[in-house]
Amino acid sequence: MKLLTRVWPGSRRFLRNGGRFTLVLCGFVLALEVAGRFARHDFQDLLGLLALNVALITVVIRHRRTPLPWLEGLLELCGQWGYQASQWQYKLGLDLRGEPPLPQAVPRWITWGIAGLVLWGMLAGLLWYLAPEAGWRLLGVYGSYTLYLAALGILWLLLLLLTFFGVYVPVTVLDRLLKTRLGDPDRRGVELAAVVAYAVLISALAWEAPCGWILLINGGLLLFTAAVGLLLGRDEAAVVWQSRRGIRALPIRRLLTLVAFLLLLLTADILVTACGNRLWGPPPGQDPLPLTGLLGAVAAWLLPGLWAVTLAFWCQSRRHDPARRTPPTVHIGGTDPLAIARAATLIRRWGWYVRRHPAPRQSGDVPILIVPPEQSQATDFDPPWPLRVSVEDLQRPEVRERLERRDVIQLRRQLFRGLHKLFKRLAPYRGPGGGAFWLAPHWWFLDSAGREESDPNSEEGRASLVGPPYHTVLSRRARQHAHALLRATHIDIIFVEDGVSFKHVERVLRILAELYDVHGGRRRAEDLHFRGLPKVRVMIHDYAPGNPFTHELYPEPKYLDLSRLRALHIFKDRGGEEEPITPPHEFSYTPAPSLSV
């Protein structure tokens, strides 16, 4: 009797603290586990998943009205795990210098992710191979049906996301292509017809064709991605992070290759899990997952369009990479077709491109005019362009040097015109609180200029990419010339404070170009090269971990803590920084002693 007197008050407290609701919830889970043993396919699992979602929504509503003690403890435990996971975050930075080289390593989360995805695919394939009539549904029949429903819901969510991106990305690209060629009424009709035709094609393929070919293509892309990662391992820029063993670096191209490898592995695992029994034909016997298999087949046949768009963007990014070198193009004019053909043959031997009359001359072409030897101006001082040369002149090295110099002059004109246009389009982004722009047209992974806003309430600035993409205002070869110029002078990024006009920025860049020409790209820029420029103060700082930029008068740019780069800062001149220079003594009016003969 004493035992009952102790149990009864405890049970009443349990019932008052949500015990009845907890008992009902446990009964629901038990009933769901029992009913799951009699389910035969995923259409019946769909009903169980809906019931489980209704139960979860009911728990959330009940907890908001009256907190459940066990759920509060569970949420507190999840919060502790989340806090511990947040402490695992990496301190990141960018290494734009590359010298001296940092030790390279792959982050652990990438290694663990690859290992986990490989294990997932092997387990799913093994279950389909051992039990083709049940597959991984055996985990719900002989294990926990509730956990099986949760895994099935996550799988359906991944398939729907894959289907969404497989439809959205190609349609968006098609819309942009048609927008540049057709008007709105015509574009909408063509786009609707293309989308309907694409949907019919995908539906027919998903219903009739086996999706095992998609896995083979996916495997080929995995090998291609791994090969590209090995070939593009050497890169000028790298991501830097702080590990337990010190600072480590990973080239950006290799990092993107590893991320693409992870995504390809993830898609392969999703397809094997969803339709592992119908890869090369209809499933044997009764299909345990008909709905999941249909969703997987649709997502599988949407992948080729997504891959095609991704490869097209990758090829375009490689084409616009400023680190590449595109040969110059010569436009040849004249009246003698045979002489023009001979001149084109000689110029092609240089490795240059040739555009011959009557093809129109394009921007950036070096123009020449083939004339008889007596009319040649190949060696004249300051001749007019197109340059009049003979076929024999093209065999002389000084003529080739003159054409190369003309090409450099035209590239710099294109570069300055493009930057001037860029500054005009960046003007609306200047805020009242002040800030600065940072420019890096020579890096392939920076698509546009950056903006750093000054926040008076915080020591940290707000940085974001603004303005038009570089490739819309700068030609491809102009960006390549900017890459050669800035890398040779050891400038990784240009920081321009608000209030500095483009005229002063152009003066700074012309000094860099002069330094590049005089020393043949073998001397790096220093502060002393920019002394004497009016109204601006140019400072160059080597950023490294533990060596931030600090100054009393000039604002401090905000970069990542572990970044390693060499920045050229162009500030408004605030005065008070110039060292006093003693003028030389004037000897003109000083009497000199007479020299005796």
Flag whether 401 is in a domain. Answer: no
User: 376 and 421: one domain?
Assistant: no
Helix runs in 276-396, H state only: 290-319, 337-349
Residues in a beta bridge with 465: 450
Q: What is the pLDDT of residue 234?
A: 55
Question: Smallest Cα–Cα separation from 22: which of 79, 63, 78, 57?
Answer: 63
Q: Which of 86, 116, 145 is the last residue of a domain?
A: 86
Structure tokens at 590: 């000083």
Is the torsion defined by CA of 402, 405, 411, 412 positive or negative?
Answer: negative
Examine residue 421 and state whether it is found in any structural domain, yes or no: yes
Give pLDDT, residue 62. Answer: 85
Q: Please identify, among 319, 340, 374, the residue that sits at the C-terminal boundary of a domain.
A: 319
Burial group, residue 416, by CB count within 10 angstroms (0-12, 13-18, 19+): middle
Please list the residues that pair with 497 across neighbouring strands: 436
The pLDDT, as a whole number, for residue 7 is 46
Whether residue 351 sits in one domain with residue 211? no
Is residue 304 situated within a structural domain? yes
Question: Do 229 and 254 belong to one domain?
Answer: yes
Residues 248 and 145 in one domain: yes
3-state secondary structure of 559: coil
Copy the structure tokens of residue 457: 């309430």
One domain, residues 102 and 40: no
Burial call 258-268: b when 16+ CB within 10 Å, e when fewer: bebbbebbbbb
Q: Reduced to 3 states, what is the DSSP secondary structure of residue 447?
A: coil
Task: Report pLDDT for 36.
Answer: 85
Contact 539, 527 (CB under 8 A): yes
Indicate whether 266 and 341 sit together in one domain: no
What pLDDT is recorded for position 583? 57
C-beta of residue 367 within 8 angstroms of C-beta of residue 361:
yes
Same domain? For 336 and 460 the reply is: no
Same domain, 159 and 144: yes
The whole-number pLDDT of residue 186 equals: 65
DSSP string, 109-164: HHHHHHHHHHHHHHHHHHHHHH-TTTGGGHHHHHS-HHHHHHHHHHHHHHHHHHHH
Judge whether 406 lies within some domain: no
Per-residue pLDDT of the chain in tens (597 residues, 90 and over written 9): 454 455 445 445 545 556 788 888 888 889 888 888 888 888 888 998 999 999 899 888 888 888 888 888 888 888 888 777 776 666 788 888 878 888 888 888 888 999 999 999 999 888 888 888 888 888 888 888 999 999 999 999 999 999 999 888 888 888 888 877 766 666 777 778 888 888 888 888 888 888 888 888 877 877 777 777 666 645 578 888 887 777 888 888 888 888 888 888 899 999 999 888 888 877 777 778 889 988 998 998 888 888 888 888 888 888 888 988 899 999 999 888 899 999 999 999 999 999 998 888 888 899 999 999 888 888 888 889 999 999 999 999 999 999 999 999 999 999 999 999 999 999 888 877 778 888 999 998 888 998 887 665 555 556 788 889 998 999 999 999 999 999 999 999 999 988 889 999 999 999 999 999 998 888 999 988 888 888 888 988 888 777 766 666 666 676 666 788 888 999 888 775 555 455 555 555 555 554 444
Closest CA to 134 of 47, 208, 39: 39
The answer to the question of residue 445 being in a domain is yes
Q: Which domain holds residue 152?
A: 92-319
Residues 15 and 58 placed together within one structural domain of the fold: yes
In a domain, 588, yes or no: no
Q: What domain count does the chain have? A: 4
List CB contacts of 538: < 8 A, sequence separation 6 or more.
508, 527, 530, 568, 569, 570, 571
Which of 86, 106, 135 finishes a domain? 86
What's the whole-model pTM score?
Answer: 0.80
Sign, CA torsion 359/362/368/371? positive
Question: Is 103 within the bounds of a domain?
Answer: yes
Tell me, yes or no, whether 153 lies in a domain: yes
Cβ neighbourhood burial of 339 (10 Å; 0-12, 13-18, 19+): middle
Question: Is the domain of 209 the same as that of 308?
Answer: yes
Same domain for 357 and 424, yes or no, is no
Same domain, 490 and 391: no
Cα(79)–Cα(73) distance, integer angstroms: 10
